[in-house]
Amino acid sequence: MPKITLNGKSIEVADGITIIEAYKQLDEPIAHYCWHPGLTIAGVCRLCVVEIEGNPRLQIACNTVVQDGMVVNNNSEKVKTAVKWGLDFHLINHPLDCPICDQAGECELQNQYMEFGKYDPEMAEHKVKKRKVVDLGERIVLDTERCILCSRCVRFTNEVSKTNELGIFNRGDRSEVGTFEDKPLNNKYSVNTVDICPVGALTSKDFRFRQRVWYLKDKPSICTGCSTGCSVNVYYNEEGIFRLKPRFNKDVNGYWMCDEGRDIYKHINKENRMVRGRYKKDGAWCSTLPLETAKKAGEKLRTYSADQIAVLVTGQYTNEELDVFVNYAVNKLGTKNIFHWKNNPDGWNEFDGLLLRGDKNPNSKGLQKVLQKHTVGGEWKDLVNQIDKFKAVVVAGPENLQAYPDLKEKIGTLARLECVVWATADDNIAFEGLMDFTYLIPQKTSVEKSGHFTNYNGLEQKVDVVTTLLSDSLNLEETVELLVGESVDMSQREKEDMHVMKKNYFTTERGRL
């Protein structure tokens, strides 16, 4: 364990780490662009210069391994001047079109210039003009003028996604990031390049121009796109959720997440949600409050005997919800006919080697555990085999309907039953295919409730309420309580909601600027 002194502070660090990592451990400010903990060292931005005692030349912290007794500082005048000029070198050919740049507000060039900059630009020559608004495939737009050539994105495609699309072309100040012959950058992890881009050179088409980042707040959550359960930050405001970004978690996803997972916010936003509860009566849909729908469904359900009721459940709910749900189904409804509905049983165990898994549910492991506890459980095909036995079915349906492409076909099968009680968060045209005595009960999504998800590896991860988009909708626990005829105290919940959505929450605490 080498002992070193950084800016006058002593610290004992692990063997073989670099000076910049020691700086990060100590939480001392150090300017850098090209260094990223998840990538190899490029050492090209030359900003993380430090002064090492006994060495007349300034060294870069990212490529210098600590040695015992090293005395390092980055607050001497010499280093400060070097960093100031280093930042100015980055800026002389930067277009400074911050007003139209989506990165503004979370731009490293802005942040670090504020902290370490020279504040006295001396560049009076013409800037180098390069290509702007280059379409780089399905998800990404490139602006080569804004690029500071830190090569993070190039290293990402070489080392992490291993797809090698990106490269730096030309030499000197004519260098440009790009793809060979402008081939599209379409890999399953492409938007990570946008996250690691310290400036606005790579921007996501999905998020482009939709919000300025200082209008957004972020809270940690878990991606529910597949059973990997990547840690994410959810960026939202009063209008809804705008994007997901990966959050570092060394046990699950490291620094990355897949592009598919970034799209899950879309089904959570109001446009795709089931806002009001609905039930079908005499061939026509009636809409009521979710609570009322659940109560009505409960009344109808209790007219059937226990063995006429089947229960279908997906791994898209939290452990807590599933525990109560299965418990009530077994003990209160009295049915043992509980079936686990999987999105694609054939490709269930698929894995792309990095993050993406075939099991598109965040909590399949948790569901299996609950089912085992009550010694119940079957598969979809078991339900189909004995479907004539049942008259009613309670479906704890998927929150993300996109993950279940064969939804329509499955609904067709269930429509053969007399009564369908379906708990769902999303609305879908396929629900039109259901018959009389169908009850659709709006559910909360993963960002609107707290609980635990168990990922493919058995790791339990906590999610907290991020925001409330539809305060009327129920969670599965409340739904099943209402179905068996118990009352739910909504006043308790109102308080919770109010806590999250305090009046003027966004206007009094607008983002940092």
Where on the chain is the footprint of other proteins (CB under 8 A)? 41-47, 49, 57-58, 63, 81-82, 85-86, 89-90, 92-93, 97-100, 104, 122-129, 132-133, 148-149, 167-168, 170-175, 208-210, 212, 214-215, 507, 510, 513
User: Rounded to the nearest whole angstrom, what is the least distance from the CB of residue 168 to other proteins in the complex?
Assistant: 7
**Straight-line distance from the first to the last Cα atom of the chain, in angstroms, rounded to the nearest whole number:** 41
User: Rounded to the nearest whole angstrom, what is the least distance from the CB of residue 58 to other proteins in the complex?
Assistant: 7
Helix residue ranges, H only, 120-246: 152-155, 192-196
Q: Which residue's CB is nearer to other proteins, number 43 or number 378? A: 43
Residues 383-394: b if buried by 16+ CB within 10 A, e if exposed: beeeeeebbbbb
User: Rounded to the nearest whole angstrom, what is the least distance from the CB of residue 100 to other proteins in the complex?
Assistant: 4
Q: Which residue's CB is nearer to other proteins, number 172 or number 353? A: 172
The total of other beta-carbon atoms located within 10 Å of residue 376's CB is 19
SS3 content of the chain, % helix, strand, coil (to 5): 30, 20, 50
Q: Which residue's CB is nearer to other proteins, number 176 or number 323? A: 176
- Which residues on adjacent β-strands are paired with residue 223? none
Q: Which residue's CB is nearer to other proteins, number 429 or number 513? A: 513
State how far the Cα of 447 lies from the Cα of 443, in Å rounded to an integer.
12
User: Rounded to the nearest whole angstrom, what is the least distance from the CB of residue 261 to other proteins in the complex?
Assistant: 24
User: Rounded to the nearest whole angstrom, what is the least distance from the CB of residue 376 to other proteins in the complex?
Assistant: 51
Residue among 89, 5, 9, 17 nearest 47 (CA): 89
Q: Which residue's CB is nearer to other proteins, number 114 or number 124? A: 124
Q: Which residue's CB is nearer to other proteins, number 91 or number 395? A: 91
User: Rounded to the nearest whole angstrom, what is the least distance from the CB of residue 44 to other proteins in the complex?
Assistant: 5
User: Rounded to the nearest whole angstrom, what is the least distance from the CB of residue 133 to other proteins in the complex?
Assistant: 4
- Three-state DSSP class for 47? coil
Q: Which residue's CB is nearer to other proteins, number 150 or number 425? A: 150
User: How many Å is the Cα radius of gyration of the chain?
Assistant: 27
Give the DSSP per-residue string, 286-330: EEE-HHHHHHHHHHHHTTS-GGGEEEEE-S-S-HHHHHHHHHHHH
State the helix-helix crossing angle for 476-483 and 290-301, rounded to 10 degrees. 40
